[in-house]
Amino acid sequence: MNASQPRPLEGLTILDLTTALAGPYATLLLAGLGARVIKIENPSNPDTMRNNAPYLGRDGVTLQKRGVDDLSLSLLERGRNKLGVTLNLKSEEGRAMFIDLARHADAVVENFSAGTADRLGIGYAALSRVNPRLVYTSISGFGADELGGQNRAMDTIVQALSGLMMTSGLVGDAPVRVGVPIGDLCAPLYATIGTLAALLQAQRTGQGQHVDVSLLGALTSVVACEQSDVMERLGQSTRTGNTLTRLAPFGVFAAADGHVAICSPTDKFVAALFGAMGTPDLAKDLRFSSRDQRVKHADELHALVEAWTLTLPTAQVVETLGALGVPCGEVRTPGEAVRDARALRRGETTRLEHPQYGEADDVVVTGLPIRMSGAFTGFDRPAPHLGEHNASVYAELLGLSDEQLRALAARQVI
C-alpha cells in the first residue's frame, strides 16, 4: 500500500461542519479513505479543539501555547488530510455561500445540537432543495428528533445513560467510567457507515437522504450486544471485574511482574492451560471437566490460574501459553500499545506531523486501521491552519476572485 495508489473515496466532496471529537473523527475517517473533506470553521470562533492542551510546536509538546505556530494535538490529529476554510454561517452572506458549496458536495456532516442547523437555515430540508442527491449526516447527543429538554451530551453523560458504567468493576463498586471517550468514538463509526451506505444508495437512485446518529443510541446499542440484564436474571453479575465467569477461565491475572490476559473458554484451551500449569489432571476434575461446571466453579478456577501466573514473569506466561495455542497477551500501557511495531507498520497508529515542523517522533496518534490491497488508506497530509485553503476552495467551487475574497474577509464573512 502506497500513496500513489487510488483512494477508495476519491472524487467525493464532504462538507465538514463538525467540532470537538465525535464529528471530526467521522470526517477524519472519510478523509483517510480519500474523500475531499472541507472543514468549515467560523473565522472568529473556530473549532473549540484548537484550544485543547497539549500543543505541538517549535518547542515540542507543551501544556501551554508558547508560539503562534503551536497547534493543539487534538486539531493536528483530527484535521489530517482535510482542507480548511473559514465561513461565518451566522451571516446571511455566509449561509448563502454555504448553500452554494452544498450544490457541489456529495455529503455534509455536522454535529450541532439537534435543531441548530435548521435554525441556521442549513439543515437537510434546505440543502436537499438545491442538491437532491446530497447525503446529510447529523451526529447529536440524543438524535435529530430530540429537540426539547436535554439535548446536549458529552461522553461521560452518554457513558452514564447507556449503562456502560455499570458493566465494569465489581458488584457494590461505584460506577466506572471507561478511560477512553468511547461514547464520542462509537457514534462516528456508525455515522461513517451510514454516510457511505447513503452515498451508495444515492448513486443508484439519484436521491440523497438524512442520516441521523446519536451518541447515546450508538453506545446503548453496543451495551445491548451483551444482554447483561438477562445474565443478571440467571445469576451472573453484569459487573464482572477483570474476569468473566460465564467463559471461565477468562480474564486478567496478576503475574510476577505485571498482568496477563488469558482466555480459555473451550475444553481444548482449558486442557492446554492445565498442561502449562503442570496440573493436567485438573481437566478430569469434575469441577472443571465441562464448561457448565467451570462456570459454576469459576472463582476456584480463576484462583488456581492466578496462583500459577504469579510465579512467572508475564513474558514467560505469554510464551508458554502462546506455544500451546492458548489465547493470551500481556497487559500494556497505552504508550506501549500505540508504539507497537506491528501497529505502526500497518498504519493502525502513526506519528503526528506538524505543518511547519514535520513529524514528531514522540507523539503517536490514531491511524486508519483499514488496509486495502488495491487502494491507499491513511493520512499523508497534516492538518490545515485556520482558513488555509480559502483561496483554492472558494475559487474552484464558487469561482470567487482574490479581490472578492478580500472583501468577504473584510466583512468577516470568511
List, by residue number, the catalytic residues: 184
Contact, 367 vs 349, CB < 8 A?
Answer: yes
Task: Report helix, strand or coil for 365.
Answer: strand
10 Å CB burial of residue 179 (0-12, 13-18, 19+) is exposed
Cell of 82: 482535510
State the DSSP string of 80-101.
TTEEEEE--TTSHHHHHHHHHH
Contact, 260 vs 253, CB < 8 A?
Answer: yes
With CA atoms as reference, report the closest residue to 100 among 393, 377, 332, 409: 393
The residue count for the chain:
414
b/e map 43-60, b = 16+ CB within 10 Å: beebbebbeeeebbbeeb
Helices (H), 224-297: 228-233, 267-276, 291-296
Task: Report helix, strand or coil for 177.
Answer: coil
With CA atoms as reference, report the closest residue to 31 among 375, 379, 399, 385: 379
With CA atoms as reference, report the closest residue to 84 among 386, 381, 398: 386
